[in-house]
Amino acid sequence: MTALLTDRVAVVTGAGRGIGRAIAELFVTEGARVVINDLDAGPAEEARAACEAIREGAAVTSIGSVTDPAYTDALMARAVEAFGGLDVLVCNAGLTRDRMAHKMSDDEWRSVIDVNLSGTFHCIRSAAPHLRDVAKRELEEHGEVLKVRKVVTFYSTAAIRGNPGQINYTAAKMGNVGIARTVAQEWAPFRICVNAVAPGFIETRMTAEKSAGAPMGIPAAMREAALARIPFGRYGAPEDVARVVLFLASPLSDYVTGQEINVSGGLQIP
Ligand SMILES: NC(=O)c1ccc[n+]([C@@H]2O[C@H](COP(=O)([O-])OP(=O)(O)OC[C@H]3O[C@@H](n4cnc5c(N)ncnc54)[C@H](O)[C@@H]3O)[C@@H](O)[C@H]2O)c1
């Protein structure tokens, strides 16, 4: 069987760690060339080296924040400059700053909305010239698109259910469902599939046991309570999510758009 992403070029945001890094590595394994975005240069470079070990010349980094619309323009341009185009956009970058609603500061609200929600919007708008406009030209010139392009946004089972302490995060993540459903319709004439993935409880920095004073993480008792609600009896691994994102990025899902998938080991909602 041929690789699923041969000759495809992908931008994966927040790919220095966790789920994003697993996506980047799996995409390279499946033949893609990948631009690894992250805010943090060190982890991004480690991810690039891991991708290069799989296939030489398959990955470059782009360091910057998806909260900056001028930067996201440059991020998409990096894919064109390094690899000649853009076929797949994965809006994975995310963070949490948890606090009960009545105590949440404006900074905690804004930082989470800016990265998890506005970041997705910036990336999609910046990718439009390389995804939508290129596909539109193909339609005009050939009467059909030469390939089906893909966008994947990220939301969360915590957002579907609602989650005490995460008014900012759940609002931002449900916004990604709205974004996917809307852009799926706007870009359907250009045969660009836009879908949303909701990880359940996946073992990454975001869900690691919270140490005192750490900005992210989950208290031990809440981690245990979450495990008790997973019928599969284990937390997810980043690779569990990466395989579903691969499906949505690959030709296997060329007639799937505007949809949501939970990757959660059967987590009951609510
Ligand atoms: N881990 C889970 O259980 C879980 C559950 C539901 C949803 N998610 C979502 O999955 C995605 C990946 O999360 P993860 O668990 O791998 O987290 P993670 O913290 O391991 O990795 C997230 C990466 O995003 C990067 N990042 C943060 N802000 C950024 C910005 N402004 N610009 C660019 N990069 C930025 C971080 O530096 C980090 O490397 C996120 O959207 C998250 O909300 C995760």
Model confidence over 5-35: pLDDT tens digits?
999 999 999 999 999 999 999 999 999 999 9
Going by pLDDT thresholds of 50, 70 and 90, the confidence category of residue 1 is low
9-263 adopts what CATH topology?
Rossmann fold (3.40.50)
> How close is the Cα of 4 to the center of ligand 1, in Å?
25
Q: What mean pLDDT do residues 105-113 have?
A: 98
The closest residue, in CA terms, to atom 44 on ligand 1 is 199
Q: What mean pLDDT do residues 248-265 have?
A: 98
> How close is the Cα of 221 to the center of ligand 1, in Å?
22
Q: State the catalytic residues.
A: 169
> How close is the Cα of 95 to the center of ligand 1, in Å?
5
Going by pLDDT thresholds of 50, 70 and 90, the confidence category of residue 37 is very high
Query: What are the sequence ranges of the domains in the chain?
Result: 9-263
The closest residue, in CA terms, to atom 40 on ligand 1 is 94
Instruction: Indicate if ligand 1 lies below 6 Å from the C-beta of 91.
Output: no
pLDDT, averaged across the chain: 97
Cβ distance 135 to 149 under 8 Å?
A: yes
Q: What mean pLDDT do residues 170-187 have?
A: 98
Instruction: Indicate if ligand 1 lies below 6 Å from the C-beta of 18.
Output: yes
Whole-prediction pTM value?
A: 0.98
